[in-house]
A and B are shown apart, each in its own frame.
Chain A
Amino acid sequence: MMEFFNDYRKLYSSALGLFLLLTVLVAILPAFDNQNNNGPLPNAVALQGEALEGKAIYVSNGCVACHTQQVRNLEMDRVWGARPSIAADYADINRMDLWRNTATLMGTERTGPDLANVGSRQPSATWNLLHLYQPRAVVEESIMPAYPWLFKEKEVVEEGDVEVVVPDRFRVGVNGKIVATDEALKLVAYLQSLKQVELPGTMPAPNFLYKQEKKEAAALATGAGETEGLDGAALYTANCQSCHQANGEGLKGAFPPLKGSSVVLDDNPELYVEVIMNGYDAHPEYASMPAVGTNSKLTAAEVTAIMNHERTNWGNKARLVTEEEVQKIMDYLKQTTKQ
């Protein structure tokens, strides 16, 4: 046996042979297989135009270092998307150009949130632009880098310019108006395009694994009508706070305050529920609100918890709404939007 390995040709070619064989088996063949046997979903829209150019900016700035784009089939990932990501979601991603490889951008670090479905979770362009200019203007605890070089300073806002209203304490040294460059707009267009495509009716979604057994058992025990198990404050943080802020005061010129808001405090919660579920664009001085409730598939219980949190905090004092009440309005809204 040792004689065999005393011949350097035999030794090195057998080691190389084993390595190549395994390489073909575990990497190249599966890669070919996945490339050739997966296609995009029928509802999928191919990435193009501004969004496609925006992806190049995303790649070039190394956003993948902190942001994943994959909803794993784990219960804990349900916050990032309605269903686990599947091979078809990535099937339409091809080589970028002669110089650069395919960028599926799945990522391996989640220092920041997952972005697989951010186009549904946070579609507001106003929010995204302000967040890019200075993340800490909207999320105080954020450690994301600021990208001021994607914006320019102008004396006068011209037609077609998109102005970003930045709170004063983040405008140090800036005298004019802050206007988004094309690059910033393209990057936001890309982020807005990141939406999970709905599966065709015939196709079952994969299950989320490792479910929280305790919570479900608790929910069953207390009856489906109770909202006690839900933490309104946490739901507010996850779904509303990035715009309306922890103190409920919003941001001047961008996001309206909830503190003392007539919509929030109204005894009749119909408009309130409608705003949460379908969005709102009644005030030109503020950005339009996306359909947060529908996009994040919030249940009546969750909406109720959020509403009650907002109605009883920051000095707000309104009566608590019940889940039945909210459910009724949601059912009505569903019917009217379908028609």
Chain B
Amino acid sequence: MNVAHPIKPRLRKLSKLLSGLLLTAFCFVATGVTAQTETTPTKEGLMSMPGILITITLLLIPISGALLLLVVKVWALLKHLRTKKHAVEASRYAEYLQTLSEEQLSVLHTHKKNQEYRLKGGELTGPFAPEDTRGLLSRVNHKANIRFIAAKRKSLERPAVDPQLSRLILWLLGTATFWLLFGTSIGQYLGIKFVAPDIDHQSWLSFGRLRPVHTNAVFWGWSSLAMLGLGYYVVPRVSNVRLHSLKAGWWTLILINAAVMLGSLALMAGINNGGGEYREYVWPIQLLFGIGLIITLYNFIRTVSKRKTKEIYVSNWYIVAAVMFAIVISIVAYVPSYQSGLGETIIQGYYMHQGVGMWFMLFTLGLVYYYLPQQLNKPIYSYSLGILAFWSQIFFYTVIGTHHFVFSAIPWSLQTVAIVGSAGMAIPVIAGTTNFIMTFRGAWHKVAGSYTLPFFIVGIIFYFTGSLQGTAEAFRSTNLIWHFTDFTVAHSHLTMYGIIAFFLWGGIYAIVPRITRQEPPQVTVGIHFWMAFIGMMFYTIPLMWGGTLRGLMWIEGLPFIESVVLMAPFWLWRAIGGTLMWVSHFIFAYNMYRMIKPRKIININNTAIGILDRDGYELVDIVNKEKPAV
């Protein structure tokens, strides 16, 4: 793998960036953590809170994009004014030319004639038509169609992937797509229940039972299987060897699908583990998932150990570490020895956040380190930044779990550690974002011609804004307002959807056409992208706005039911945004179908030759007969 060697100015820039970043992080910690002035935030005092300021800054990012566009427009206007000035000058010049004498003019005319002389292209061939023996001129398209939709580049043909491995990858991605449809259909139904709570009265479909079905299906079904599908491509590819064992991959596929299937049924039947988020599956079911991961871990490590490259490419740092950590957190979460009383809550905080940060985020970042440079056809900007992000992610992310229980009965000191760790998350996030954005440098023109890169760009933007929003939420002063409200729901969708799902879609559209040699229709990829993106915006912004209002209402001490009434329009907007997202998934599934289903393409020439071959001995005979005759 080609790796960019960090050169000196780059290092200097990096160190400047890091010191600036540390300084800001510490400022946040200082204001955020020590802000226990025991005064209630009022509407006027909101603007002095770091968490609110960060959120506003993050919201400003897309807005500043729009402002940039405005600047470009103004620039064009100024340019127009300048041309006007030039026109005036030109007319003055014309007046001057009229004052010239005959001789001066004839000299100028000769000059003009000499400069305008052009070859006609026929000086050497004469008046004869060119002989086109190789058919080069016959393929000229004289009737170019008007392009309503910009044509994107087709994906490049890759060195052939082992067809057996391709089959495994397509099965992993195919079942992931199924769980995406299933999980988000449930989510869509849950969103409707906020608006129409009496839509059904079935125990299996009641809100409390379905909510974990939704979250677990999109976590363990969609995201995990899609990650593994893309990972099974990356791990052997960057090691430059074949996968250690295909069989192990199939077992992982079967076990994880079985776990999600059984788990969803059990949850609907009212069998769950006791209410800790994302560990609602009872242990015999989650065990299937765990075994699936252990098998894959063994498989990946054996593959890496046999690699033909000297270094271990950074993708394999992230991916293998993610699988190891996911196994560790599952074990920690399900071993009962320390889970009585508050022990359960502390482990819950640890588990739910490591699940997100150490499994989904770490694995997906590993995938991005492969698929993004591949799609840009250039090496990653800085290997060192990737490694810095790796270690700082492990260091800070591991300690932030209990920030889900700020102000609870959990020891105050543990809450503070979690809040400080949340501020520290700025380091891996900024390092990662910088690395991805700098990889784009000099290749931005490729975005316009690619249907995968937009997914990566959205993923990168939300990696930055979504992750730092998490930091902002963790401060005590903002937690006060946002905790327990729908703000949290918006945040989890910005991250699990905006980051993880968009990166996964980018990876899937990058790799499936290369494996199957079949492109998805570019129009429907575009529709999928825009519906998912706009839908997510309609989903999250109202919930953040409504969540803030609701928190302030609670602080004011108004009756609880009034805050339910307040949320009604925001829940409606959420359902509308959710519908857009949900429909986009069916379009994605259609694209998957188009990419995977073997299509019968009739090549007229080959088929004609084939027909001749089949009953064509006559033709051959004719040739043979004629030959002796001559």
Binding site for B on A (CB under 8 A): 2, 5-6, 8, 11-12, 15-16, 18-20, 22-23, 25-28, 30-32, 34-35, 38, 59-66, 68, 70, 72-77, 79, 84-87, 89-96, 99-111, 113, 135-136, 139, 141-149, 209-214, 234, 237-238, 241
- Minimum-distance CB pairs A-B, first 3: A62-B208, A110-B484, A103-B274
A65 engages B208 (CB within 8 Å): yes
Residue of B40, B193, B489, B557 near A213 (CB, 8 A) is B40
Q: Is B401 an interface residue (CB 8 A)?
A: yes
Q: Is B372 an interface residue (CB 8 A)?
A: no
User: What residues on B are CB-neighbors of A149 within 8 Å?
Assistant: 201-203
- Beyond A26-B399, A84-B409, A210-B38, 4 additional contacts (C-beta under 8 Å) are A12-B321, A64-B208, A91-B342, A107-B484
If A30-B411, A96-B274 touch, whether A76 touches B554 (CB-CB below 8 Å) is: yes
- Kindly state the separation between the CA atoms of A146 and B41 in the bound complex, as whole angstroms: 36
Between-chain CB contacts (< 8 Å), 15 pairs = A8-B305, A20-B328, A59-B274, A62-B212, A75-B555, A87-B410, A90-B341, A91-B341, A95-B340, A104-B345, A107-B484, A143-B193, A210-B480, A237-B559, A237-B562
If A144-B197, A211-B39, A237-B562 touch, whether A93 touches B404 (CB-CB below 8 Å) is: no
Of chain B, the residue at the smallest CB distance from A103 is: B274
- Kindly state the separation between the CA atoms of A207 and B120 in the bound complex, as whole angstroms: 94
A19 engages B201 (CB within 8 Å): no
B40 engages A212 (CB within 8 Å): yes
A65 engages B207 (CB within 8 Å): yes
User: What residues on A are CB-neighbors of B484 within 8 Å?
Assistant: 68, 107-110
If A27-B401, A59-B272, A104-B344 touch, whether A238 touches B208 (CB-CB below 8 Å) is: no
If A26-B417, A62-B212 touch, whether A101 touches B334 (CB-CB below 8 Å) is: yes
User: What residues on A are CB-neighbors of B418 within 8 Å?
Assistant: 26
If A92-B341, A109-B484 touch, whether A145 touches B193 (CB-CB below 8 Å) is: yes
B340 engages A145 (CB within 8 Å): no
Interface centre among B36, B301, B337, B346 (most CB of A within 10 A): B346
Residue of A19, A38, A87, A95 near B328 (CB, 8 A) is A19
Q: Is B358 an interface residue (CB 8 A)?
A: yes
Q: Is B558 an interface residue (CB 8 A)?
A: yes
Q: Is B356 an interface residue (CB 8 A)?
A: no
Of chain B, the residue at the smallest CB distance from A18 is: B394
Of chain B, the residue at the smallest CB distance from A94 is: B340
Q: Is B485 an interface residue (CB 8 A)?
A: yes
B38 engages A212 (CB within 8 Å): no
Q: Is B54 an interface residue (CB 8 A)?
A: no
A103 engages B275 (CB within 8 Å): yes
Q: Is B282 an interface residue (CB 8 A)?
A: yes
B395 engages A18 (CB within 8 Å): yes
A26 engages B407 (CB within 8 Å): no
CB distance from B585 to the nearest CB of A (A): 23
Of chain A, the residue at the smallest CB distance from B335 is: A28
B279 engages A8 (CB within 8 Å): no
A87 engages B275 (CB within 8 Å): no
Q: Is B414 an interface residue (CB 8 A)?
A: yes
A145 engages B339 (CB within 8 Å): no
User: What residues on A are CB-neighbors of B208 within 8 Å?
Assistant: 61-66, 145
Q: Is B325 an interface residue (CB 8 A)?
A: yes
User: How does the 8 Å CB contact mask read for B381-414 relative to A, with 1 for contact and 0 for none?
Assistant: 0000000001100110011011011011111001
User: How does the 8 Å CB contact mask read for B554-575 relative to A, with 1 for contact and 0 for none?
Assistant: 1101111110110000000000
A15 engages B341 (CB within 8 Å): no
If A70-B409, A108-B484, A109-B484 touch, whether A23 touches B336 (CB-CB below 8 Å) is: no
CB distance from A38 to the nearest CB of B (A): 6
User: What residues on B are CB-neighbors of A76 within 8 Å?
Assistant: 40, 480, 554-555, 557
If A142-B564, A146-B201 touch, whether A95 touches B414 (CB-CB below 8 Å) is: no
A34 engages B561 (CB within 8 Å): no
- Kindly state the separation between the CA atoms of A34 and B412 in the bound complex, as whole angstroms: 12
Of chain B, the residue at the smallest CB distance from A34 is: B342
Of chain A, the residue at the smallest CB distance from B417 is: A26
- Kindly state the separation between the CA atoms of A32 and B338 in the bound complex, as whole angstroms: 5
CB distance from B554 to the nearest CB of A (A): 5
User: How does the 8 Å CB contact mask read for B297-341 relative to A, with 1 for contact and 0 for none?
Assistant: 000010011010011100001001100110011001010111111
B342 engages A109 (CB within 8 Å): no
B340 engages A79 (CB within 8 Å): no
CB distance from A88 to the nearest CB of B (A): 8
